[in-house]
Structure 1
């Protein structure tokens, strides 16, 4: 297939960048960048289409992706690829249309090393992607995004994750209830999971709380912090001590610190 005008097919792809409802209805999203596309293919995600620029011939990387993915492909005019890739100058070599996995909490494998990060009602896609990247870097089992929240499949979130979105499960849940039901099921099966919330006024410093066991670590909204329902549900609230004129940490930064502390304790164990 060759696309040289802003026809209906191009408009469908363009909508995946800007319209969350259309992404959800189609069950797919557009992936930009060498590393994210490579990881999506390597980790076995459903590649529904690969879009290649009609410019110069493909690089070795591009040829390998096309061969490995075995997905339907389209040749797209360079100026249209620039629009889809968010590039002001060079058109991207490849873009991928990738299917969304189900929002199923059973994708989060239980076990003694369980570490799941919950991001409660985040408003910024970039923060979602940054948190996913940190969760991947520090060995988390997965990420849950709860409530009315920014979309982890927004292109800004996908880019901020630098491909980590494809390396660990990221699941959306309507509210805290579904997460607590899932955690309750784990406990019933003998997994002693604890739910730990982060808050600048938490009664215990994070380094003083044992994070070596199965843990659900909950991080609040960038502006309002954790909801009252999450605060009530947590087994323990912890704080990250800070100094200086800063009133608080960015939510994704706070999550990164908490993940590092968890990894530090577990290495010590």
Structure 2
């Protein structure tokens, strides 16, 4: 049975407001609640388009609804509708001036590797122990732009659903499955399962002392790319599990790239090789 939306107005920092406010800065409370906050036209539209469950829609109680907001509220009949005082909405939106028109409270999906679809052209990304949520969001955005099938975050890491990660993804979080797992063991068990099922995934890490430059290696095969921690790079465990370690060639004085930039570089090269292979009908690299 469809849940009927209930209109509620919040004009003070009551218990309900405090619960949502806690979702912004407290990872454990996000996990327990199983939800997080989303703002912005594109991110909210993508969440709806890709079938994510919107639990609540919060809008400004003193501002006329735009056509977009009105249609969204009308279309999401299963979501609770809440109007909120603009100064409180601005706090949830983490803005000092104009509050967002609408904030969505969205349900987190399960951290299940089966959310990531694996086919003959599989391309996945592992981010090993990231410390910056903004880097997670940026890598998800690049993964979306260059056709990756999913992102896996391993180890003790920043949270995929941290507001900084959600904002940095500019909505791509809802288009590209992103899954958190405790360690490399769960990932490799999943990789072996895919290999046994007929998809020969190649696990490729990046390292300044790698065996080849990224443009000299065939990235047209089903590939899982490994991106290391922003400070220490790939863990020893991941380096040992990788089938190949590759270099990103650099000619300037910098010896390494920011993790998100490194991921974007190798994702672009993979996309370039695959596009070239599709056009020529041949292999994309050496």
TM-score (norm. length: structure 1): 0.99
Match for residue 280 of structure 2? Answer: none
What is the Cα deviation at residue 223 of structure 1?
0.3
Gaps of 5+ in 2: 1-7, 278-286
The alignment status of 1:229 with 2:256, answered yes or no, reads: no
Match for residue 177 of structure 1? Answer: 185
Q: Distance in 1 between matches of 2:265 and 2:62?
A: 44
The alignment status of 1:68 with 2:78, answered yes or no, reads: no
Pick aligned residue for 2:145 from 137, 147, 161: 137
Bigger shift: 35-44 or 141-150?
A: 35-44
Q: Distance in 2 between matches of 1:72 and 1:202?
A: 52
Q: Distance in 1 between matches of 2:39 and 2:63?
A: 18
Match for residue 32 of structure 1? Answer: 39
The alignment status of 1:104 with 2:101, answered yes or no, reads: no
Q: Distance in 2 between matches of 1:193 and 1:136?
A: 19
Kept after mapping to 2: 8 A contact 1:41/1:65 = no
Pick aligned residue for 1:125 from 108, 123, 133: 133
Bigger shift: 29-38 or 178-187?
A: 29-38
| Matched position secondary structure for 2:71 | helix
Runs (4+) off by over 4 Å: none
| Coordinate RMSD, CA, aligned | 0.7
The alignment status of 1:79 with 2:87, answered yes or no, reads: yes
Match for residue 18 of structure 2? Answer: 11
Q: Distance in 1 between matches of 2:254 and 2:76?
A: 47
Match for residue 58 of structure 2? Answer: 51
Match for residue 204 of structure 2? Answer: 196
Match for residue 265 of structure 1? Answer: 273
The alignment status of 1:219 with 2:227, answered yes or no, reads: yes
What is the Cα deviation at residue 136 of structure 1?
0.1
| Matched position secondary structure for 1:29 | strand
Q: Distance in 2 between matches of 1:39 and 1:53?
A: 21
- Residues 188-226 of structure 1: CA deviation (Å, up to 9, x unaligned): 111111100011221210111111011100000000000
Q: Distance in 2 between matches of 1:245 and 1:95?
A: 44
- Residues 3-57 of structure 1: CA deviation (Å, up to 9, x unaligned): 0000000000001101000000111001122211111111110000000111221
| Matched position secondary structure for 1:172 | strand
Q: Distance in 1 between matches of 2:126 and 2:72?
A: 33
Q: Distance in 2 between matches of 1:72 and 1:40?
A: 16
What is the Cα deviation at residue 78 of structure 1?
0.4
Gaps of 5+ in 1: none
Match for residue 208 of structure 1? Answer: 216
Bigger shift: 259-268 or 28-37?
A: 28-37
